[in-house]
Amino acid sequence: MSDLIKIAASRDARRKPGFGKLTGRLVLLAIIIMATSFEPAELMVDAYAGASSTTVVVAVPNISLSTPAGSPPIITNGGRKEIQAVVGQPLTVDINASDPNGYNGFVFTGVTQNNKFYYSANTYLVAQNGQMHLDNIKTPLLPSGSTLTNQYKTGGHFTHSIFTWTPTAADNNTSVTVSVIAGNYYYPATPVSRTMNFTINTVDATTPSFAMNAEQTLVMGFEAKIPVTVIPDTDNDSVLISASNLPNGAVLGPAAKNAGGQWVAVLTWTPSAAQIGSSTITFEAQDAQESTVVSSQVVFIVQNGASPAFSSSMPAMMEAAQNVALTYEIIVIPDAQTSDVLLTATGLPPGAVLSKPVLKNGQLVASMTWQPDASQIGSNFSVTFTAEDNVAGAVPVMFTTTFTAVPHYSVINRSLFRR
């Protein structure tokens, strides 16, 4: 006699007399349940009714299904109970059966298929020589990796089963139906049962994600190799990486997995002078086992590889005498790309004026004119001059000169002293 039948028989022997008859009836009950797996509830009642003449009415057992906090919920969809399981996330279903009159209900939980009732992931119950027998199969019908635990609780007069499963990537986009059967019986009445099914639909709710800066800086004329890095989803599938609106000359290589488990495709690009400025490239990543695509936009700023330069003849410190006009020349040597240079100044003393640059003998020359007044004597003014090519993405260069306002006689005396 199986452990399942032994538990049921020993339990009712304590409740009612006629233990020998009870054991035979339970064996017959279990045989009928397992042999009529497609309609276990109805066929079991009809078959046993003919073998008993009792008038005792047995209450149809109750069945309740629930999922604990953190597990996917059970959803009623058109009379069907469904659970949407997620790859990589654990699922738990609590199954409870009870007798409305307070007696003990017997719950058998599993999958009915091929005229067999599967008691666990790889075990089904069969009748053999008037007794119940557990047979093992090599290919489980319950989801691979799932567990099924049947627990009898004497204090609460009910039976509790627990179904647990964590779907893997191999289970993605699959569906399995689990049948729950609760049988109720007290001697010598006719046994009754109730069947309830729930269907588990498995999906992959996670997606890969990009791990790269939203802005990249390149230099015209220099080859850049920029890794496009993607973190795979929770089931760690392979990742496909692509790109749209690539600039002319830019090439995205195939994705490969690095030592850290990330997927990397290398963008190779040597920007031309015509590509100075900013370009936006859209990268896309897709799990090799899924159709969902995630995207990330990256702005590439192409800078001019050459920049203008300030002349080394420009002094870094200057004195300006009170009420005497000072003219300070700013000399810029343009680069080979262009002589169209923007020249600006910050920190100019009050009253100072910066002229526009003029090309003279291949150099750009501008002037800062300033005539300090009495209120500015003793003050220092740090003026920063900035020169940059008048093209998008140009790299500016800066030069700072400190101007000091002094009394008029100071300049004269220093001139005489130098003589």
Which tens digit of pLDDT belongs to each residue from 65-107?
999 888 888 988 888 899 988 877 889 998 888 878 776 555 5
User: Tens digits of per-residue pLDDT, 193-212?
Assistant: 788 888 888 877 678 889 88
Mean pLDDT of 314-341: 91
- Given a cut of 50, whether residue 286 has pLDDT beyond it is yes
pLDDT at 89: 82
Q: Are 352 and 369 in contact (CB under 8 A)?
A: yes
Omega cis (within 30) before 188: yes
More confident residue, 34 or 223: 223
The pTM of this model reads 0.42
- Given a cut of 50, whether residue 18 has pLDDT beyond it is no
pLDDT at 46: 30
Under DSSP, the state recorded for 191 is: P
Task: Report the alpha-carbon distance of residue 47 to residue 43 in Å, rounded.
Answer: 6
SS (H, E, C) 30-49: HHHHHHCCCCHHHHHHHHHH
Under DSSP, the state recorded for 304 is: P
Mean of per-residue pLDDT scores for the chain: 76
- Given a cut of 50, whether residue 179 has pLDDT beyond it is yes
Residue 279 identity (one-letter amino acid): S
Mean pLDDT of 296-311: 88
pLDDT at 411: 52
SS (H, E, C) 111-179: EEECCEEEEECCEEEEEECCEEEEEECCCCCCCCCCEEEEEEECCCCEEEEEEEECCCHHHCCCEEEEE
Task: Report the alpha-carbon distance of residue 8 to residue 137 in Å, rounded.
Answer: 25
Domains of the chain with CATH codes: 3-203 (2.60.40.10), 209-303 (2.60.40.10), 309-418 (2.60.40.10)
Cβ count within 10 A of residue 152: 16
- Given a cut of 90, whether residue 225 has pLDDT beyond it is yes
Task: Report the alpha-carbon distance of residue 300 to residue 216 in Å, rounded.
Answer: 5
Which pair of tokens denotes residue 82? Answer: 């469904």
Spatial CB neighbours of 82, under 8 Å, sequence gap ≥ 6: 74, 75, 76, 198, 199, 200, 201
pLDDT at 4: 38
Which pair of tokens denotes residue 309? Answer: 């330069």
- Given a cut of 90, whether residue 336 has pLDDT beyond it is no
pLDDT at 292: 77
